[in-house]
């Protein structure tokens, strides 16, 4: 296991204030695939099927976020992001674990996600979190230019 970030990092339910804080990171991290603030607000409003968490540093600053959608017995990881200064300290793994715990509590028996083939850090993260690569969706990102790897694991 990675060491936890220095100071107290708290995992809390994501709020509209976190959405405002994450938008600059979202655009830098996801480019043409970035979600809008309104998109996030709609996600947060759907508490029946979706569950979003944020990680805050000791001063309340946003360090990361992640979300899952649970429909019947299937959970889809929708997004995971960690701000550059807080990476490689186990934060994404903590966020994922918390999402998967909640998904299990809601009755999910399996989890899946899509990740860009060229996103080596995220693919390594998911492999380490017990996901296996199931197949490829051709041209899933960037207007058909970049493939997605579909990954899955039992819960």
Ligand X SMILES: CC(C)(COP(=O)(O)OP(=O)(O)OC[C@H]1O[C@@H](n2cnc3c(N)ncnc32)[C@H](O)[C@@H]1OP(=O)(O)O)[C@@H](O)C(=O)NCCC(=O)NCCS
Q: Tell me whether residue 44 or residue 131 sits nearer to ligand X (CB atom).
A: 131
Q: Total number of residues binding ligand X (CB under 6 A)?
A: 20
Footprint (CB under 6 A) of ligand X, residues 117-136: 119-122, 124-125, 128
Residue/partner pairs of 144-150 with CB below 8 Å, 24 or more apart:
146/116, 146/117, 146/118, 147/116, 147/117, 148/114, 148/115, 148/116, 148/117, 149/114, 149/115, 149/116, 149/117, 149/123, 150/112, 150/113, 150/114
Q: How far is the CB of 27 from ligand X (least distance, A)?
A: 12
Q: Using CB under 6 A, which residues numbered 77 to 96 contact ligand X?
A: 80-82, 87-93
Is the Cβ of residue 48 or residue 138 nearer to ligand X in the bound state?
A: 138
Please report how close the Cβ of residue 109 comes to ligand X at its closest, in angstroms: 22
Nearer to ligand X, 109 or 120 (CB): 120
| DSSP conformation letters of 16-78 | HHHHHHHHHHHHHHHGGGPPPHHHHHHHHH-TTTEEEEEEE-TTS-EEEEEEEEEETTEEEEE
Query: Residue 112's beta-bridge partner residues?
Result: 76, 152
- Report 27-66 residues binding ligand X (CB under 6 A): 29
Q: Supply the minimum distance, in Å, between the C-beta of residue 92 and ligand X.
A: 3
Pick 29 or 98: Cβ nearer ligand X: 29
Give residues in contact with ligand X (CB under 6 A): 2, 29, 80-82, 87-93, 115, 119-122, 124-125, 128
């Amino acid at each position: 296991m990675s060491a936890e970030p220095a100071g107290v990092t708290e995992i809390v339910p994501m709020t509209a204030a976190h959405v405002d804080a994450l938008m600059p990171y979202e655009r830098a991290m996801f480019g043409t695939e970035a979600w809008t603030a309104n998109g996030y607000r709609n996600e947060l409003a759907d508490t029946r099927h979706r569950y979003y968490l944020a990680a805050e540093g000791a001063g309340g600053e946003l360090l990361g976020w992640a979300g899952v959608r649970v429909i019947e017995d299937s959970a889809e990881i929708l997004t995971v992001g960690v701000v550059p200064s807080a990476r490689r300290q186990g934060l994404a793994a903590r966020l994922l674990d918390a999402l998967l715990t909640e998904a299990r509590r809601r009755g999910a028996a399996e989890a899946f996600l899509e990740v860009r083939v060229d996103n080596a850090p995220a693919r390594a993260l998911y492999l380490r979190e017990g996901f296996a690569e199931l197949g490829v969706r051709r041209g899933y990102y960037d207007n058909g230019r970049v493939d997605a790897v579909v990954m899955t694991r039992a819960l």
